[in-house]
Chains A and B, each alone.
Chain A
């Protein structure tokens, strides 16, 4: 199975800050990567797919990029509603595994 490792696991940031979360795959997955946001007590929400394509309705302060087997999710100008846990997921092969999550908290 493909392992995804997210870093950092925890980020403390302030409103207005820029935050970057990294997801590294254990093997090549091309751009078959998605990012999800999950708020406490809620279901996950799709943010980005294809490593960098924003899902409809997602604010443009969210962006995704890829460099080889390393993927980044960047939230520019963090808003109060962005404090949540973020998961990456690989989509190149079954089983479709998730990273362990990265929690963004208010400083």
Chain B
């Protein structure tokens, strides 16, 4: 069974940094593109960032470009999201999700999701 388990969320001051992790099990992790999607309190889904299985290509929403960095460690079966210069509007549940394929490319389709980790940016 495929499982994705996010961690690293918490309360951080505006301007602060946080690193989220997503541990994958039950899959050959490197075969799949991965994404981060967030959901602000009471709001809809917002795609944040994606990375190909071979780590060659990364993608970002304009709202996080230059502040967030997605990466992965295919030996540790773990996806990361480094978040810097955090703002109040980054407050959300952050989900990691896998694609059905995507060693070389990202499609955006997300077939398995983790339970999410909560990030709160507040003074």
B85 within 8 A of A: no
Does B108 lie within 8 Å of A98, measured CB to CB? no
A23 to chain B, nearest CB (A): 12
Does A98 lie within 8 Å of B47, measured CB to CB? yes
Interface flags for B91-122 (1: CB within 8 Å of A; 0: not) read 00001000000000011111101111000000
Pick the 6 closest A-B CB pairs, nearest first: A96-B108, A43-B113, A91-B108, A98-B45, A101-B44, A96-B47
Chain A, interface SS category: loop
Does A95 lie within 8 Å of B59, measured CB to CB? yes
Q: Chain A residues with Cβ under 8 A from B45's Cβ? A: 36, 38, 44, 87, 89, 98, 101
B side interface size, CB within 8 A? 21
B104 to chain A, nearest CB (A): 15
B97 to chain A, nearest CB (A): 8
Does B109 lie within 8 Å of A34, measured CB to CB? yes
The range of chain A's interface size is: 20 to 34
A43-B116, A44-B95 known; A95 vs B47 contact (CB < 8 Å): yes
User: Roughly how many angstroms separate A26 CA and B107 CA in the complex, as a whole number?
Assistant: 19
Does A94 lie within 8 Å of B59, measured CB to CB? yes
Question: Quick one: which of A44, A90, A91, A97 contacts B113, CB cutoff 8 A?
Answer: A44
Q: Chain B residues with Cβ under 8 A from A97's Cβ? A: 47
A61 within 8 A of B: no
Q: Chain A residues with Cβ under 8 A from B73's Cβ? A: none
Interface flags for A65-104 (1: CB within 8 Å of B; 0: not) read 0000000000000000000000101110011111111000
B41 to chain A, nearest CB (A): 12
